[in-house]
Structure 1
Amino acid sequence: MTTTWYDAPSHAAGAALAERLAQHGMPDAEIRSSGVRVRAAEAARVAAEELGLIANPAGVQSLDVVIEAADPAAVQPFWDAVLGPDLLRRDPTFTVRRLAEPRPLRNRIHVDVVRPSAAVDEARAVTGLEPTGEYGVMLPDDEGNEVDLVPGDPLPGTTDWLALFAAMTFYPTSAPAQLATKVAELADAAGIPLMIDVRAEGVVIDSGKDQWEDGEGADPKFVALAAQIEAAAKDLGLRADPTPLRFVQFGIDAVDVPTVRAFWLALLGYAEDNRPYLSDIYDPRRLNPVLFFQQLEEPRRQRNRISFELAVPEGAVAQRVAAALSAGGRVLSEKPYLVADPEGNEVVIGT
């Protein structure tokens, strides 16, 4: 689906556009404190113009994932179980494709998935695997592609929220724009940025990774906002359903972390997480997945079985390729562009 990002000065301004589009049968919208992403359509253009919102092509991109396997039919059920159905259409797309030649060594790219505890238990039962790894949460598919499948916990001080690296809740409702508008008003009044994803099925409210914490635990200001949102949902007769919630991020192992990190910052237009103990980079509009980087002691020359696909507007492809090259990347092929970072991790750049 082709989308458009409109810069906006507040959650409420984005919610106003989402509310108008819901009246046109276009409920899907991602509301942020700095703008809103909606389906590209004439109705959206007209409504945005009437509200004084400006389209910004820099806000339109998607980062998806490809997992290559010698036997995709055998690997696909593992990933279906681990990820669960993306009922709310929030996460990067995972595609399993056939591998041309065996690559037996460990990937430099790996996946973190955080889901409600019951969903994690069910996924482990379906795969029949016992988790291992440093944190006791790693599961491998039949060909060695790894995922850390992490169970989430209730968010302290709340009744409807889960801590899934991000603080999240989901309210099913037949009038999602109504709830989104109220949540937007509360977030603006509290001065706390939220991710408010409006769907025909309901509204997802998300803090963004770690944004609910204050360094010592749950931030009292965020907990207070969460309580206000719970009360607003209750006034509308709504009940939270955590079942479809999930958080996804990607880790990249690198010998030279600063160099590889700089490549992905330049290519994706991401921002750095300034906390000294983290290597995270993130989409400043909070629309695409977080990447983080881990120290690799020895190079792994083999190509990964996991890679990325970056989709941007047609006019931005050349600029993104140039940014990749200026940050130490290499073009491996064209039409579409296949680019490798300084240590060989690959991304297709297309439209």
Structure 2
Amino acid sequence: MTWYDAPSHTAGAALVARLADLPGGMPDIDLRAGGLRVQPSDGTAEAAQELGLVANPAGLETLDVVIEAADPAAVQPFWQTVLGYPAGLEDPLRRDPAFAVRRLTEPRPLRNRIHVDVVRAADAVDRAREVTGREPSGAFGVMLPDDEGNEVDLVPGETLPGTTDWLALFGAMTFYPTSSPAPLVTAAAELADAAGVPLMIDVRREGVAFDSGKDQWEESPEFVALAQRIETAAKDLGLSADPARLRFVQFGIDAADVPALRAFWVTLLGYEEDPRPHVTDIYDPRRLNPVLFFQQLEEPREQRNRIRFELAVPDPERTVEAAMAAGGRILSEKPYLVADPEGNEVVVRTPKTRPST
């Protein structure tokens, strides 16, 4: 993957249009107000250079998740169902975190300090509950456990008020299947720049996903108007939305010392703190990787999780050094296994190549 800084959505969309004309088809592209991440293909670097876009290695991190299980074969189908990943545990649109279920190498207790939240269309949530055979429970009535007790809050979304094509899944999202994404991307980029509203535009061979980012449509009164204009542009191009293919995924961490743990993960991930009072979220400033939030532990828990993160970065040694300065410790190397100040674990490694189809 390569990140190119760009001054606007429209400047990034110009590269999308250029790449659409190259042999080999459209690569995966994540377009943001300040740049775009591209799955490299022949001609990408040349097209970017001609448009004056500069590669920046700072945008190449990915954050994925590992769930350890005594019987991975029994646990994996549950997570495929709740996530809506039809084959394996990777998002077919390659937007959301990849999950992996791996065999436990030593006994670990069932309770986790790391939590998974998934928000999907309401009918998809109903189907997942039916397939898994689990009745929702928990404080909010949305928690489902897998066969070994690992839990997910599977939350039903709803239609974004004032629109027909968008769902409110913590973020506002829609997806337009198309084999010719460039005209829609160009139109949406111009609309977003004119409105002054940051927009996440994920371009795939399968189509184009639009996303406000978590809570951003609520924070921006102009967002719904932008969503309506994008709907009109899509309809003018003869496109129909399929937002049910999308989901929102975030992770919560229980903490005895929320400020200390929050500071560690901000340093490790290069995230920023949500400035709103009483909100503990931290987020990727490029809106490429999942949101994390922190919950105050009511009582201490001395245990190791069955859930951990995997962070892929271009320079693991430098990242681990920063993590140590923020209170972390190295548990093992090659690849690095790092613990935060309260024992939650993350593997830090170099990126793997993800398939673009």
Paired position in structure 2 for 1:223: 224
Query: Which residue pairs with 1:263 in the alignment?
Result: 264
Superimposed CA distance per residue, residues 265-284 of structure 1 (whole angstroms, 9 cap, x where no aligned partner): 00000011000021000000
Is it true that 1:107 corresponds to 2:112 in the alignment? yes
From 197, 203, 207, the equivalent of 2:202 is: 197
CA separation in 2, counterparts of 1:105 and 1:172?
40
After the TM superposition, which residues 34-183 of structure 1 pair with which residues of structure 2 at under 5 Å, given as runs? 34-85=34-85, 86-183=91-188
The one-letter amino acid paired with 2:10 is A
Post-superposition Cα deviations, 1:214-266, rounded to whole Å, max 9, x if no partner, equal 3xxxx541111111101100100111112211000000001001111100000
Q: Is it true that 1:306 corresponds to 2:297 in the alignment?
A: no
User: Any idea what the Cα deviations from partners look like across 1:26-62, whole Å, max 9, x if unmatched?
Assistant: 3321000000000134511111111101111011110
1:16 aligned partner: 14
Given that 1:4 and 1:55 are in contact with CA atoms closer than 8 Å, whether structure 2 keeps it comes out as yes
The answer (yes or no) to whether the contact 1:87–1:244 under 8 Å persists in 2 is no
Give the alignment's TM-score, normalised by structure 1.
0.96
Q: Which amino acid aligns with 1:287?
A: L
> What is the CA distance between 1:187 and its match in structure 2?
0.3
Task: Report the counterpart of residue 342 of structure 1 in structure 2.
Answer: 341
Quick check: 1:27–1:177 contact (8 Å CA) kept in 2? Answer: no
Aligned to 1:4: 2
Secondary structure at 2:210's aligned position in 1? strand
Distance 2:108 2:64 in 1: 21
Please tell me the root mean square deviation across aligned C-alpha atoms, in Å: 1.0
Structure 1 letter corresponding to 2:280: S
Distance 1:102 1:119 in 2: 34
Secondary structure class of the residue paired with 1:299: coil
Aligned residue in 1 for 2:88: none
Aligned to 2:284: 283
Conserved? CA contact 2:110–2:150, under 8 Å? no
**Of 188-197 and 175-184, the range deviating more from structure 2:** 175-184
Give the TM-score, by structure 2 length: 0.94
Q: Using a 3 Å threshold, how does the CA distance of structure 1 residues 37 and 31 change in structure 2: closer, same or farther?
A: same
Judge conservation of contact 1:64–1:94 (CA < 8 Å) in 2: yes
2:29 maps to: 29
Q: Number of matched residues?
A: 343
Query: Is the CA contact (8 Å cut-off) linking 1:154 and 1:163 kept in structure 2?
Result: yes
Contact 2:304 2:343 in 1 (8 A): yes
Q: Hey, what does 2:242 align to over in structure 1?
A: 241
Report the equivalent of 1:251: 252
Measured in 2, the distance between the counterparts of 1:73 and 1:224 equals: 46
The CA distance in 1 between the partners of 2:9 and 2:127, in whole Å, is 36
Q: Distance in 2 between matches of 1:27 and 1:61?
A: 18
Partner of 1:297: 298
1:243 match: secondary structure: helix
| Conserved 8 A contact 1:18-1:27 | no
Please identify, of 18-27 and 337-346, the stretch whose mean Cα deviation from structure 2 is larger.
Answer: 18-27
Contact 2:4 2:35 in 1 (8 A): yes
Paired with 2:62 and 2:164, the residues of 1 have a C-alpha distance of: 33
Q: Distance in 2 between matches of 1:60 and 1:116?
A: 29
1:89-120 CA-partner distances (Å, limit 9, x unpaired): 10110000000122224100010000001110
Question: Identity over aligned residues, as a percent?
Answer: 75
Unpaired runs of at least 5, structure 1:
none
**Separation of aligned partners in 2, 1:58 and 1:7:** 10
* Alignment check: 8 A CA contact 1:104 1:144 kept: no
